[in-house]
A and B are shown apart, each in its own frame.
Chain A
Amino acid sequence: MKNTFWGFERQHGAVGTRNLIAVVSVMDNCNPVTHAIASAVQGTVYLPGSYIRGQLGRDREITLKVTAGLCLNPNIAGVVVIGLEPRTTLELVNLLAPSGKPVEFIDIQMTGGTINSIAAGTRVAALMVKDASRQRRREFSIDKLIVGLECGGSDTTSGLASNPAIGVVSDKVIAEGGTSIITETSEFFGAEHIFADRAIDPNVRESFLNEVNLLEKEIIALGIDLRGSNPTPDNIRGGLTTIEEKALGAMAKSGNSDLVGVLGYGDHPSRNGLHFMSGPAPAVESITGLAAGGCQICIFSTGVGNPIGHPVSTVIKVSGNRNTIKAFSDNVDFDVSSIIEQNESISSAGNRLFEYMLSVANGELTSSEVLGTCESAISRFGPSM
């Protein structure tokens, strides 16, 4: 029997699992106005701007593209864009226009400063939320789901329990025509040769290996010992000794499916199936890339405990560490410690997690949504001028 979920249909056939209005800054100097509007209107999410002003070249392009990608995520029903001046604002608005989503924009310079802009933005956001609330969920098949595969605050239980359980979910999503994306390039050091063998063709294999090799060469050219930052101090406290050990455990999140495509940071897949997205390992930047790539849901395994979620892509926290499940219970959504404690099979725990994920897709709220422990930040790839 094929599984289904209940979601919100968007333009061009995409389907959201949430029905949110994004209030987004074009650049960081707009954040106070954007934050005030999002705080005033229930049903909106606050998307802070990351720099833009002073950025140049590829770095600026990526920031704009990822900002647009977050707004284009199918969980977003409409967008209120807050800019400083019209020219840059229009650059972002033009990236959103082809989606056919409702988009309104306000420029702080043209609207008479902070108070007037907050008032104008609050009015348009309130109307947008009312409009969006008329939409009803409908039933869709799993091929409309894009699931992000993430880990943070990993320990040795991540590789034994929570990551392999996520791998089962990823395989099930893909078997039903859906898509999943694994990222965190540096967390393939030591596991890349195994993952590369799952590529569907030599081009995909080469472009995956290229991303990993480029990053390792960059680290070596800088004369850096990666051990200063990855594994992190809490990974090491949790028993992870080297990046190779962490990588072999992290890769289990991708299950056994074929690797069909390699994506740049924040890029949307152009076909269904398992993808690799090039991107940094820290959770906030990483989930932001996955959300911009269109993931409605990210399944996030944690060993020693990482509380963070994302305002656009719903984050499910999974742990297999019985101590963390007890001590960090407010932030853990799903317990797979029975794999270690009661010899539950990985596939049985994975099937339970899949059912839970469908319930979340249908509207069940996760810890980070209820507590608002959400953050969004776009990676930098160059200097500001």
Chain B
Amino acid sequence: MIRAIVLNTNDNVGTLVDAAKKDDKVSLTGELNETVTLVENIEFGHKLAIRTIDHGGKIIKYGKVIGQAVKAIKIGEHVHTHNVDALRARGDKKESL
């Protein structure tokens, strides 16, 4: 069984605690009890989307905002630096404070 931990019922990402491949079914554990099918390979410890996330939508983990989607993200997609931006300590974007 390939597992992903979800820490809060409001989270839209889960953390994979097993390495997983495209089309694998992932069992969500922790605060949710659902199954998600991966649309791409994802490494151990990395996050998958468990809800559809719009471009500009907030990424929620621990029930808190951990960043913002820079493109639309589908359920089962890898959620990482390629599609998420940090919102804090961005001196390159002066308006961030």
Contact = CB atoms under 8 A, between A and B. Distances in A.
Contacts of B34: none
A23 B55 CA distance: 57
B97 interface: yes
Contacts of A303: 45
A63 B47 CA distance: 41
A194 B89 CA distance: 18
A216 B88 contact: yes
Nearest to B43: A239
Contact of B91 (A186, A220, A242, A321): A220
A157 interface: yes
B88 A159 contact: no
B45 A226 contact: no
B2 interface: no
Interface in B52-97: 59, 61-62, 64-67, 79-81, 84-94, 96-97
Interface stretch (A72-80, A243-251, A286-294, A325-333): A243-251
B89 A189 contact: yes
Contacts of B79: 241
Contacts of B65: 190, 244
Nearest to B90: A225
Contacts of A160: 5, 7, 15, 17
Contact of A226 (B5, B17, B91, B97): B91
Nearest to B63: A248
A243 B86 contact: yes
B89 A156 contact: no
A224 to B, nearest CB: 4
A29 to B, nearest CB: 36
A223 B15 CA distance: 32
Contact of B66 (A186, A219, A222, A241): A241
A157 B16 CA distance: 10
A126 interface: no
A156 B90 contact: no
Interface residues of B, number: 33
A219 B90 CA distance: 8
Identify which of B45, B64, B79, B97 gathers the most chain A CB atoms within 10 Å of its CB. Answer: B45
Identify which of B89, B96, B97 gathers the most chain A CB atoms within 10 Å of its CB. Answer: B89
A244 B17 contact: no
A339 to B, nearest CB: 10
Given A225-B90, A241-B47, A248 B64 contact: yes
Interface residues of A, number: 36
Contacts of B96: 220
B81 A241 contact: yes
Contact of A219 (B5, B43, B80, B91): B91
A194 B43 CA distance: 30
B51 interface: no
Interface in A206-234: 216-217, 219-227
A156 B42 CA distance: 14
B86 A226 contact: yes
Nearest to A213: B97
Contacts of B7: 160
B15 to A, nearest CB: 5
Contact of B44 (A227, A241, A323): A323
A323 B64 CA distance: 27
B46 interface: yes
A107 interface: no
Given A159-B62, A190-B64, A239-B15, A244 B45 contact: no
Q: Which 8 A-B pairs have the closest CB atoms?
A: A226-B89, A239-B45, A242-B86, A245-B66, A225-B92, A239-B46, A224-B91, A189-B88
17 contacts: A157-B17, A160-B15, A186-B89, A191-B64, A219-B89, A220-B90, A225-B90, A238-B45, A241-B47, A241-B66, A241-B79, A241-B84, A243-B86, A244-B64, A244-B66, A245-B66, A323-B44
Given A159-B62, A190-B88, 5 more contacts: A156-B47, A242-B67, A248-B61, A248-B62, A303-B45
Interface of A: 155-157, 159-160, 186, 189-191, 194, 216-217, 219-227, 236, 238-239, 241-245, 248-249, 303, 321, 323, 340-341
Interface of B: 5, 7, 15-17, 43-47, 59, 61-62, 64-67, 79-81, 84-94, 96-97
